[in-house]
Each structure stands twice: as structure tokens, then as C-alpha cells.
A and B are shown apart, each in its own frame.
Chain A
Amino acid sequence: MTDHSSAALEGREHLRPDRPDWAASHIPAHRRPLPLVTREAVGRPAAKAAAERLAGRSADWQQGRWPPEFDVLRERASAIRRETLADLDTHLQTLTASVERSGGVVHRAATGEQAADIVRRIAAEHGAGLVVKSKSMVTEEIHLNERLEQAGMSVVETDLGEYLVQLGDERPAHIIAPAVHLSREDVAGRFARLDGRDPDQDGDDDPVTLARFARERMREDFRRADVGVTGVNFAVAETGTLVTVTNEGNADLVTSQPRVHIAVMTIEKVLPRFADLGVLVPLLTYAGMHQDVTVYQTMITGPRRTGERDGPDELHLVILDNGRSGILGTRYEEVLCCIRCGACQTACPVFRTLGGGHAYASVYGGPIGAVLTPLLSDRAEDRDLPYLSSLCGACGDVCPVKIPLPDMLVDLRADAVAAATGPKAATRRLGWRAWATSWRSPRVYRAQVAAARVVNRALPDRLLARLPGMPRAWARGRALPDPGALPDPEAPPDGPPEREAPR
């Protein structure tokens, strides 16, 4: 076994996690009720700063309007992704054959645990002590770092943002901006501790200096690592090419220096044709970062060939399902079109106010997480996540592959209500049913609205502030309706608006 120590993680023992439990890298089996977590999240000063940074990024979004050239790409990408899902098995078979033809080894995993175990086994077979990783959400999903560390390996996240959250024992707060919740002072503090310096002493917190510090610490690890682990942005079926998109160049180092490259992808990452990259890469990078194209697209087709001086001797591709094939063919199938650009997170006012994705207490936060998590998870409490949305529709507007996220959020709420059990849920259902029945009769509807007008006039304005307990929390920021604004009792309840007669 080779030397385990990582230069980048030296001094890690001096760091003490200062994050709340719901931001921890290890997601507990149960979490507190959402209102309690979100109240705590919104109250943190860091949340406000993160919200401002994300709002700044979101401000240059033309909400709901795409530049014409990207609008065309968006149409084509949406079609490509849906076409792929319609015949996913065939594309995965083609991909497998292509990767094997180019000399790679393909592994299929049904569960996250299986996938993590496959990676651990390959790394262990090569006597790996040091593993370098480039940014990957799926390895978060399978808790890979934990598994490899349990097996005695050192795992280094080489994306700067991922490195920062790794040092703080946190999860990424955003799909493409993992450390968006951290200030430069936070970063400087973590680096000072690593270095054995006093974090309270005024140090240089210029992002340029901080980035250089991380760069220098990691260079040795890139050279010495035994295994490189990456995610996959797109896997091209016809050629077996694995494409990773970065700005930092870390995926290139991770896939060129270590002897073994292990790539992990979920089943929906497959693309039928190589030429499809011409549509999806620019769209992904524009949606995520407003770049015409990111600095690097790393395209790997098999391990190094005879005579080549660098590149891995072995290439392994782990294809993970983890509940996704169960979504195929349901009304939520289109969520698998997602290309993980993070645009819906950046655009979501709820996500921003929460200061990032930690408060979702799941791997994926924001609108995509609020849809995907309840579909993939067995935790009953994850059915609440679709309520973390104001249903403003921004996530649907910015989605580069036109996933109807707002509709899915509503449908998942309906599913959550339907699935709820116990006396409380039964009472609630009964109440709504009674209300619906009563308003079906115009007479009862008119009587109720007339009564509401009378009651409303009689109530003191400050009534809401005087409510006890939970109702008061609900009432904060709300006002009683203006009696004049109540619907006309003579008008039909919520009927279709009167239309002009067709000409």
C-alpha cells in the first residue's frame, strides 16, 4: 500500500466544523420538521450574504426569456433528452459496448451502496492510499468519500468549492457553486487553521491568494494519487466518450495523472450521438454560469493506449440506477432530463433565502432537489420538500431542458397529501372535502361569503398578532383581507372567466 497522506488535507485535524447539523456531509436518517430547519437557516447571517451573491448571479437572467441562439439550443436539447429517455436501455447498451470496445470496464449498480462498494473494491485492488476527485454530485449521492475513508484511504476533493466544503465537513450548497454559502473570511479562516496559523489574526483574504493556496497544496496530490474519481456530465453512447465539464482543469489532472480512473454516472447521463455535445455543452455552460463555454471539456475514450506517456492504465465506468428507472414512465419522467446546471437553484427565491441547499437536508437542494429527492428517497420526511417553493415558476423558466418543475412541485404535494396517514391527515382531508362540497352549491357559497364579510368587519386588525403558538407563526407577515376585496357573493365561485362569443 502506498503513502496515504494528502498534502492538501494536511492540518485537517485543526479544523472544527462550525456548520449546523443539517449541513453536515453525513445526512442523518431523520431530520427535524422542515419549518424548524428553515427558520434556523433563514436566521443565519451567512444566509443573507449567500442570497445576495445568488441574486446577483440571477439578476442577469432574462427571466423567462432566452437569447435567440440559446433558445434554439434549448429546443433541440429538450428533444434530445426526451428522445434518449424514451429508449434509455438501448442507449445504455450501446454505451456499454462502446466503452468496452475502447478498453474500459463497465460496472452496473442498482443502489448507491453497491456503486460505492464497486469503487472501493477497485481502489483497494490497486492498493490505493490516495484518491483525488473532481467535482461530482453522484458521488455525494452514494456517500463515496465516507466509504473510501472507512477503508483507510485519503480522499481529496480537488474542485476549489468542493475542497472548501470538504474541509468544513459540509455538503455542497449548490450544484455548481458548492461553497456559495462561505465568505472569503470563512475561507481564509479554514486555510489559516489548516496551516496552523491563528484564524483570528488578519490574514490575506483576497480570493486570488486563497485560490493559489489551494492550488499549491493540491499539486503534489495530483501527482501522487493512485486513483482519480470523476463524475460524468455526458456519456456518448456511439463512441463511449465520457465528458466532464470544468473551469478549473482539475478533471483533466484527475484523469491524466493517476494510474486508475473511475468514472461514476447515473443512467440518465447518456447521450446518443457525439454531435449532440455541440448542443448540450454550450447550453449547460450558459444555463449554469452564463459562459459561452466553460474553460475545459475533458473527453475520455478508454484508457491510455500503447505508447502514450500519460493517462490511466485502467478506466472503469460505474453506471448507477439508484431508483431512477422507477421514475421512467411516470408523470415525473422528465425530471431525468436534468443536466445539473444549477440554474433552477440560482433562480429560486426560496433556495436563495435559505442561503443555499443545506436546509433541504438532502443531497440535491433547490427546485430540482425538491422534486428529485422525494422521488428517490425512502425517508417519509422528504415528502415535505416540494413545499419549499413559492411556485413562482422561475425554475421552469430557466430550465435549459424545459423540465416542468413548477407542475411537478404541485403534483408531488398532492402525492404527499394522498400518502399521508394518521388522524391529523384524515381530519385535514375531511376538512378540505367538506369545504369543496359546500362551495359546490351556489347557495351555500353565497351564504359563506356574506358571513365572512360580516365577521371580517367585526374583527380587530391586530387579531392575527394575538393568535397563540403555531397559528401566530403562520400569521406573521399576513394581514386579514380587506372586506371590500372579498369576492362578490353573487358571483359564481371560481368559475371559468366569461369569454367573448366566438366570431
Chain B
Amino acid sequence: MTTPGETTQMVHEFAEALAKVGGVTHPVQDVTEATQVVSSLCEGRRVTTHSDDLVAAVTEGLERTDDPWAADVGVTSAHAAVAATGTLVLTFDESRPRSTPLVPPSHVAVVPTDRLVPSYQHAMDLLASLAASGRMPSGVQCVTGPSSSGDIEMVLVRGMHGPAEVHVVLVGVSSRERS
């Protein structure tokens, strides 16, 4: 079991690691606050979303499309998030298409803090245990920040084929823990 102190520590680590690769973390207290953040990130933009309860709640009232190629933002919820590296582990199934976090130029993930794991190895162990119980998804994407390329003169360019913008809304962080 993870203690509240360890979770706070992981929230900070995650935000720091994600910032290092050009992503933005938004720690929020609860679903109400998450909805406000997601609304302001998606204002005036068309969203395509994964169909799960949390994502449905935070994207209520936004302009939607089922076509990821016509969307400006893809909103997902991750299976796990790695504190040490800022990595999101996204699993795909009938209600979670692969295109949602991939095709639109911006990706917003809403992740409860109890899905944080300390290290990349922990995330792989988690997926291994899914496989062991016969629940390995057909597609998994581990993603750390915006897509990038260093193929021209080894200069880092953010926003290659995948999204140029990655926002992670961490739900369950009290205002006291944020400082």
C-alpha cells in the first residue's frame, strides 16, 4: 500500500519529470476541479475522448467528434502513470481507441493519483500481471511527453507525428500537497 506521503512525493516527481520533456502537469483536488481545468484547456476546441466514467465526467459540455482526424484534442485516462519518468501507460480496447491520444495535436490525460507507480519497472510489472490474468490489451502505449524528433542536425523538435502538446491532470491532490 502506498502511504499519502509517498503519493505526494510521486506527484512532485511526476510533474518534474514530465516538465523536463515538455509536458504539463495539473494537480487538482477532485473531479469538479479537474472538469474546470479540462474545460479551460479545451475551450473552443473539438475533443475526441476515451469512453470511461472519469473522462465522461470531466469532458461534459465540450464539443465532441468521433473522428480523431477532425479533433483538436484527445482526452484519455491512463491505466498507470510513472512518477520517475513522467510516463503515461495507456491501454486500448473497445471504449478506448488507439487514435485518441495519438492523432489530435493535443493530448489531455486525466489520471487519479492512486494510479501513480514509482518506476518504469513497476509499470511493466503491472502490465505483466494483466497478461498473467489473461487481460493483456491488444494495444498499449507508453508515452512520455509530446512527440519529438532529433533527426535534423540532432536538434530537438517537439511535435512530430504524435501530439505537440501533452497535459496530465492528476486528480486527488489537496491544495496543501501542491506546494
Contacts and interface: CB of A to CB of B under 8 A. Distances in A.
Interface of A: 53, 56-57, 102, 158-161, 164, 177-180, 182-184, 187, 207-208, 210-212, 215, 218, 222-223, 238-239, 241, 247-250, 252-253, 255-257, 273-275, 277-279, 281-282, 289, 292-311
Q: Which of B98, B103, B137, B163 has the most CB of A within 10 A?
A: B98
Contacts of A180: 154
Contacts of A300: 138-139
| Interface majority SS (helix, strand, loop, mixed), chain B | loop
Contacts of A278: 119-125
A56 B148 CA distance: 19
A414 to B, nearest CB: 37
Contacts of A207: 152-153, 155, 157
17 contacts: A160-B160, A177-B150, A184-B155, A207-B153, A211-B152, A215-B160, A215-B161, A247-B150, A255-B139, A278-B119, A293-B142, A295-B145, A296-B142, A296-B162, A299-B139, A300-B139, A311-B98
Given A177-B154, A304-B138, A292 B98 contact: no
A281 B85 CA distance: 12
B102 interface: yes
A308 B152 contact: no
B45 to A, nearest CB: 18
Contacts of A56: 154
B137 A179 contact: no
B68 to A, nearest CB: 8
Nearest to B94: A307
Closest 7 CB pairs of A and B: A249-B162, A278-B121, A307-B94, A161-B151, A278-B124, A248-B160, A299-B140
Interface in B99-118: 99, 102-103
Contacts of B131: 238-239, 241, 274, 301
A160 B93 contact: no
A292 B85 contact: yes
B167 to A, nearest CB: 15
A56 B138 CA distance: 40
A277 B127 CA distance: 10
A238 B124 CA distance: 13
Contacts, number: 181
A268 B94 CA distance: 33
B78 to A, nearest CB: 14
Contacts of A208: 157
A179 B151 contact: yes
Contacts of A57: 154
Contacts of B74: none
A274 B141 contact: no
A210 B157 CA distance: 10
A161 B154 CA distance: 10
B172 to A, nearest CB: 24
A250 B149 CA distance: 11
Interface string B43-60: 000000000000000000
Contacts of A301: 131, 136-140
B144 interface: yes
A117 B148 CA distance: 33
Given A158-B161, A252-B162, A310-B99, A292 B149 contact: no
B21 interface: yes
Contact of A53 (B93, B137, B154): B154
Contacts of A281: 120, 124
Contact of B141 (A218, A298, A306): A298
A307 to B, nearest CB: 3
B152 A295 contact: no
B128 A274 contact: yes
B94 A295 contact: no
B136 to A, nearest CB: 5
Contacts of B150: 177, 247, 289
Given A249-B162, A300-B138, A295 B154 contact: no
Given A274-B124, A296-B143, A218 B153 contact: no
A316 to B, nearest CB: 15
A159 B160 CA distance: 9
B42 interface: no
Given A305-B93, A311-B92, A299 B142 contact: yes
Nearest to B99: A310
B87 interface: yes
A199 to B, nearest CB: 16
Contact of B161 (A161, A248, A305): A248
B153 to A, nearest CB: 5
Contact of A249 (B87, B119, B138, B161): B161
